[in-house]
Amino acid sequence: MAENVSDTPSMNETPTEREPRTVSDIPTVVCDRVDIVYRVNGTGAGRGSATAALNRMLRRKNAEKAAGTRTVHAVKNVSFVAYKGEAIGLIGTNGSGKSTLLKAVAGLLPVENGAIYTDGQPSLLGVNAALMGDLTGEKNVYLGGLAMGMSREEIKERYQDIVDFSGINEKGDFITLPMRTYSSGMGARLRFSIAAAKDHDVLLIDEALATGDASFRMRSEERIRELRQHAGTVFLVSHNNKSIRDTCERVLWLERGVLRMDGPTEDVLAEYEAFTGDKSDKTKAKPKPKPKVAQPS
Amino acid sequence: MTQVLHTPPPAPVTAEDDLAALAARHGLSVSGARPSLPAYVGQLWARRHFITAFATAKLTAQYAQAKLGQVWQIMTPLLNATVYYFIFGVLLDTKRNVPDYIPFLVTGVFIWTFTSSSIMTGTRAIAGNLGLVRALHFPRAALPISFCLQQLQQLLFSMAALAVILLCFGVPVAASWLLAIPVLILQFMFNTGMSLIMARWGAKTPDISQLMPFVLRTWMYISGVMWSIDKLTGKHKGLPDWVAPVLKDNPAAVYIDLMRYALIDSFHGSQLPPHVWIVATGWALVVGVGGFIYFWKAEETYGRG
């Protein structure tokens, strides 16, 4: 089965030869032979021990080696072109470089080789880090919105929508309570609602749909479809094949940092499901040495 | 990752020129490149509401879990001043040489705390907020500036407490109190510049934040926070001539003494070093502007690797 995966015709198409689709022909993200390499400091033996640290300091020459700087080649030679109006799913087993690629598209990670060109500033859907648990949900809506670059007026305008969408106030006046008092599901819903409130040119979503209950998930998917119409391009990383099917019409399959397949959702997911389904057989049939370094997740 | 993979499919045969040309044709730009300095300033200005909101949010979140809440904004600096009064005023009897010792000491402690905590939080501004830096796009200088703004807000609380202390100890209200405003503006510029420099260092070498408390404590003791530098250098006859001017022209001492001059009537202009306003403005401009440019130079590297 795997043999015909590597011969997938879509892999050999140039972007310009791609069959006409409902989306426009205006590219929004161009990934040109991108390599991403992580440098991880201090993986050498005994970073924690004082003698090891002293040893490193004394032997300055070998510091790099002794400090155990290791490189992790997380994304290898990936090229693709995303067009305006597309929703693209990124799939692959854990640690295959999906999130890394997304961060690089957002301009938050440097590329080792190649280049990523984007139309405007792609935004990673996620404001978690800007929010503060000690502040009320209300203040966090403002803080998160400002952190994403919205103006105060814009936030004021959308405030009610954000709160309604999150459903935080369905069970009482929770929006005026500090966020640390929220349940994890409520917090995740508010975070998604804040993040999704802004219209983005290129929107990158990392597993965001895994949060909340069934009804919230449906609303989220609905919102992502909306964002797509406003915005342009949406990238979605998910392990949930159903939410990929529901929202994306094109899928990139990354495996060990290599773009293994790029094509319509159904084709790629069919191969992917077959791949993840029978992997135990293949392990027995064709054992391979383990990779030297672990891929980051 | 234990499953076995087959050899990866060959890379797409598109020539590099094709994709780069396609990108150029549609006016796409390279993701994550450092903007020019004017563009950077523009971006920062566009995020000014975020900078102030983040500073205020940090400030209020700081004491949100405490029972007394925001009362600590004033309590913390007052307790600090009390401790220093007990040690330096009472135990070491520094107060004998200095008129209006309590206003002198409290002004010194508050103004010094503004600089030292700006530098301390600046050191952790990037390193301690990697989550934010890696998740969202904004000019990174927003973080150190925001933290300095938070310290400025904190200082304004302290200044309110200071005004009460001054009145309690019989220091008269004077027109010179207005000089506190330019002093604070200059000091804020200096602090922000320092904080930006430290933020870049701290982002590269997080260990610096372990070292800073010692550096700052040394700096505090030589800046005349608890005693008058004049009295100290006057006591030691053997000191070389350059020591006193160097101590008095160091930025922390300059801002502290200027604030004392503005607020305390018994602190005379003769106790200030010559050309003190020029020195104060010089420190603010050189460190403020220089620090900003220094920080911007590494803009694209923050939060990476």
Q: Is there a contact between A121 and B46 if contact means CB atoms under 8 Å apart?
A: no
CA torsion B101→B107→B109→B113, rounded to 10°? 180
Residue A285 lies in a domain: yes
Q: Which tokens sit at A182?
A: 């929220």
- Write down the pLDDT at residue A294: 46
Selection from B284, B272, B212 nearest residue B247 by Cα:
B272
3-state helix, strand and coil shares in percent for chain B, rounded to the nearest 5: 70, 0, 25
For residue A122, the distance in angstroms to the closest alpha carbon of chain B comes to 8
A123–B31 C-beta distance less than 8 A: no
Residues 230-249 of A with CB under 8 A from B: none
Counted residue by residue, chain A has a size of 297
Nearest to B13 among A12, A16, A288 (CB): A12
Contacts of A81 (CB under 8 A, 6+ apart): A15, A27, A29, A30, A31, B19, B22
The reply to whether A129 falls in a domain is no
Residue B16 included in any domain: no
β A113-118/A27-40 pair status: antiparallel
Q: How many domains does chain B have?
A: 1
Helix (H, G, I), strand (E, B) or coil at A115: strand
Chain B closest-CA separation from residue A183 CA (Å):
18
d(CA A232, CA A3): 35
Which tokens is B201 given? 């260092």
Q: From A38, A43, A50, A37, select the one nearest A69 (Cα to Cα).
A: A43
Residues 89-118 (A) with a CB less than 8 A from some CB of B: 93-96, 103-110, 114-118
- Quote the CA–CA distance of B40 and B299 in Å, as a whole number: 10
pLDDT for res A148: 84
Residue A105 and residue B60: Cβ atoms within 8 Å?
no
Sequence-distant contacts of B243-247: CB under 8 A, at least 24 apart = B245/B273, B247/B222, B247/B223
Q: Give domain status of residue B56, yes or no.
A: no
Question: Under a CB-based contact definition with an 8 Å cutoff, are residues A178 and A135 in contact?
Answer: yes
Establish if A114 belongs to a structural domain. Answer: yes
pLDDT digits (tens, 9 = 90+) for B85-116: 888 777 877 777 778 888 888 899 899 999 99
Task: For A294, list phi and psi in degrees, rounded to 5.
Answer: -80, 145
Which residues of chain B are within 8 Å of residue A12 when distances are taken between CB atoms?
A: 10, 12-13
Give A260-291 pLDDT, tens digit per residue: 889 999 889 998 888 887 544 444 444 444 44
Residue A24 near chain B (CB below 8 Å): no
Q: Please give the span between the terminal C-alpha atoms of chain A, in angstroms, as a whole number.
A: 26
Pairing of strands A27-40, A70-83: antiparallel
Q: Of the candidates B23, B60, B65, which has its C-beta nearest A117's C-beta?
A: B23
Q: How far is Cα A62 from Cα B294, in angstroms, rounded to an integer?
A: 30
Burial of A138 (0-12, 13-18, 19+ CB in 10 A): middle
- Domain range for B213 is 69-301
Residue A17 at interface with chain B, using a CB cutoff of 8 Å: no
Chain A window 156-215: which residues touch B at a Cβ cutoff of 8 Å? 178
Show residues of chain A in contact with B132, CB under 8 Å. 129-130, 147
Residue B86 DSSP label:
I
Token pair 């895994």: residue = A210
Nearest CA in chain B to A151: B49
Residue of B nearest to A84 (CA): B26
Q: Are residues A117 and B29 in contact, defined by beta-carbon separation less than 8 angstroms?
A: yes
- In this structure, what are the phi and psi dihedrals at residue A43, rounded to the nearest 5 degrees? -95, -5
* Token pair listed for A221: 């998917």
Predicted local confidence at residue B41, as pLDDT = 94
Residue B12 lies in a domain: no
Residues in chain B with CB shorter than 8 Å from the CB of A38 are 305
Segments of chain B scoring below 50 in pLDDT: 1-14
Q: Is A81 on the interface with B (CB under 8 A)?
A: yes
**Which pLDDT does position A48 carry in this prediction?**
57
DSSP-derived letter for residue A178 is B
In a domain, residue B10? The reply is: no
Q: Scanning every residue of chain A, which has its alpha carbon at the shortest distance from the alpha carbon of B53?
A: A143
Quick check: B3 and A93 CB within 8 A?
yes
For A93, the closest chain B residue by CA position comes to B1
How many beta-carbon pairs under 8 angstroms link A with B?
195
Domain tally, chain A: 1
Of B59, B75, B220, B49, give the one whose Cα is nearest residue B154: B59
- Which of A57, A99, A105, A108 should be substituted to probe chain B, the one whose Cβ sees the most B Cβ atoms within 10 Å? A108
Q: Looking at the domain assignment, is residue B42 inside a domain?
A: no
Q: What's the whole-model pTM score?
A: 0.78
Q: How many CA atoms lie within 13 A of B51 on its CB side?
A: 21
List alpha helices for A12-92, DSSP H: 50-58, 63-66
- Note down the domain range covering A11: 1-51+72-120+246-258+267-297
Q: Which residues in chain B have their CB less than 8 angstroms from residue A143's CB?
A: 50, 53-54, 57
In-domain check, residue A296: yes
List CB contacts of B108: < 8 A, sequence separation 6 or more: B224, B225, B226, B256, B260
Contact between chains at B31 and A117 (C-beta distance less than 8 A): yes
* Residue with token string 């700052």: B216
Residue B21 has which token pair? 């040309």
Say what angle helices B251-263 and B180-204 make with each other, to 10 degrees: 160
Contact criterion met (CB < 8 Å) for B32 and A108: yes
Identity of the amino acid at B7:
T
Is A228 a domain residue? no
A110 to chain B: which residues are within 8 Å by CB?
32, 300-301, 304-305
Of all residues in chain A, the one with the smallest CA distance to B20 is: A32
- d(CA B135, CA A109) in angstroms, rounded, equals 11
Task: Note whether residue B15 is domain-resident.
Answer: no
Low-confidence ranges of chain A (pLDDT < 50): 1-21, 46, 279-297
Does residue A181 form part of some domain?
A: no
Distance CA B73, CA A63 (A): 45
In a domain, B265, yes or no: yes
Radius of gyration from C-alpha coordinates of chain A: 22
Establish if A106 belongs to a structural domain.
Answer: yes
Specify if B73 maps to a domain: yes
**Quick check: is A253 in a domain?**
yes
Alpha carbon separation from B34 to A147, B38, B295, B299 (Å, rounded): 19, 11, 12, 6
Binary contact (A27, B26; C-beta < 8 A): yes
| Bridge pairing between strands A70-83 and A250-255 | unpaired
Token output for A147: 């952190």
Look at residues A245, A249, A189 and name the one whose alpha carbon lies nearest to residue A217: A189
